[in-house]
Structure 1
């Protein structure tokens, strides 16, 4: 059972999300919060797998909430949800530990897919958000003076794992596809995090795209 906390300051929006999730077998809405402080308090007291987190909350930004969750409750995964699709919002919250970013016009099926994907250990972005990330990375690549010598070298197997992470496969699915154990996948992932100086899967995807490591 995936335990989801909904964090948004718009009651009607929270009602709508909760009504969708209540109909889904295997997903349990464990609570709702309307400000960042409540989120930080809730996850310390109640078992929570995923926080469906609005980027803008009345007392603090979703980015700050995400940052504090990463520091105090790293086991809780953050799936950001917002009406904003600006690259600055997306990159900032991903840099602070969010596992995915979807837009508020997301449909029921995509919402459920995003939650299950993130819970499975992969990252998830709405199509429009992916395009925004790519545009931002391309613009930075054009203005970067980074040489090939600066790009970390990864093994063939690490590259295979990295590609599957970028394609939103879970750890179990990666193990099945490559005919290796879960422990081996986690070992490759740990090596990639260290080599690319990333904090999570979202960071791996961002850095690999920025350095053209998936081609």
Structure 2
């Protein structure tokens, strides 16, 4: 039985670029391009109807740029992995992509070998940032100390959704109210609350509030 292929959607406003990437990818036995988009909104429409493993998105596109597309995808909780393609290795673009939640940032001048390595790294759950981009990230995050809240989130391994749940819980909202506000099921809200309290090692709301305040999570 053959291995399941990595399903990919390409988003770039230049047809020639898409054609070139498609040709490169489809030359690989384990990769399959299932759709293409010429702008950010089209990419989001495709993701409403299809479930690719990976979205390769150009940073500069009409309608919505690549960073905006990644930000929306992550906010919606879509499971697709995202690799941003760019001609620019400027610190601003790199950091904006990372903050939006991109799983990788690759320069368009990268070699075929590096491109394929980036795809497989991101697909397998890793992060990939090419050459000069990596040094920008290291310099930025080493030189800037994390805020107490961010450090606490890392310490307790809180997900973005758990951070959202925590915020609502600390406002005194019920599971039903949280579910309605975040457009999730009541059961999902209950599970997130349970995981949250387990990670912070607390037994009740009072302990949760005190611990959140102690570690700067209630700000």
**TM-score bracket, shorter-length normalisation:** 0.5 to 0.7
Residue number among 104, 112, 135 corresponding to 2:116 in the alignment? 112
2:135 aligned to which of 117, 131, 137: 131
Distance 2:140 2:89 in 1: 12
Query: Where does residue 74 of structure 2 map in the other structure?
Result: 70
The answer as to 2:78 corresponding to 1:81 is no
Contact 1:99 1:124 in 2 (8 A): yes
Pairwise CA distance, 1:13: 1.0
Q: Deviations over 1:84-113 (max 9, x none)?
A: 111111111111111010100011111111
- Give distance in 1, aligned partners of 2:136 and 2:99: 15
TM superposition shift of 1:154: 5.3
Q: CA RMSD, aligned part only?
A: 2.6
Structure-2 separation of matches of 1:137 and 1:34 = 33
Q: Is the contact between residue 43 and residue 73 of structure 1 (CA under 8 Å) also seen in structure 2? A: no
> Which residue in the other structure is 1:90 paired with?
94
Mapped partners of 2:114, 2:39: distance in 1: 25
Contact 1:79 1:101 in 2 (8 A): yes
Q: 1:30 aligns with which of 30, 34, 37?
A: 34
- The question of 1:61 aligning with 2:26 is answered no
Distance across 2 between alignment mates of 1:50 and 1:9: 18
CA offset at residue 53 of structure 1?
A: 0.7
Question: Which has the higher relative contact order, 1 or 2, with Cα contacts under 8 A spaced 6 or more apart?
Answer: 1
CA deviation map 1:181-203 (0-9, x unaligned): xxxxxxxxx99xx89xxxxxxxx
Q: Matches of 1:115 and 1:151 in 2, distance apart? A: 29
Q: Normalized against structure 1, the TM-score is what?
A: 0.65
Residues in 2 aligned to 1:26 and 1:100: alpha-carbon distance in whole angstroms: 19
Residue 73 of structure 1 and its aligned partner are, at CA, apart by: 4.7
Contact preservation (8 Å) 1:44, 1:73: no
Match of 1:182 in 2: none
What runs of 5+ residues in structure 2 fail to find an aligned partner? 158-194, 201-219
Residue 135 of structure 1: how far off its partner (Å): 2.9
Report the Cα offset of residue 81 of structure 1.
0.7
2:11 to 7, 10, 17: 7
Q: Deviations over 1:19-59 (max 9, x none)?
A: 10001111101111110010000011122111101111111
Distance 1:68 1:154 in 2: 26
Give distance in 1, aligned partners of 2:102 and 2:138: 17
Structure 2 length normalisation: TM-score? 0.64
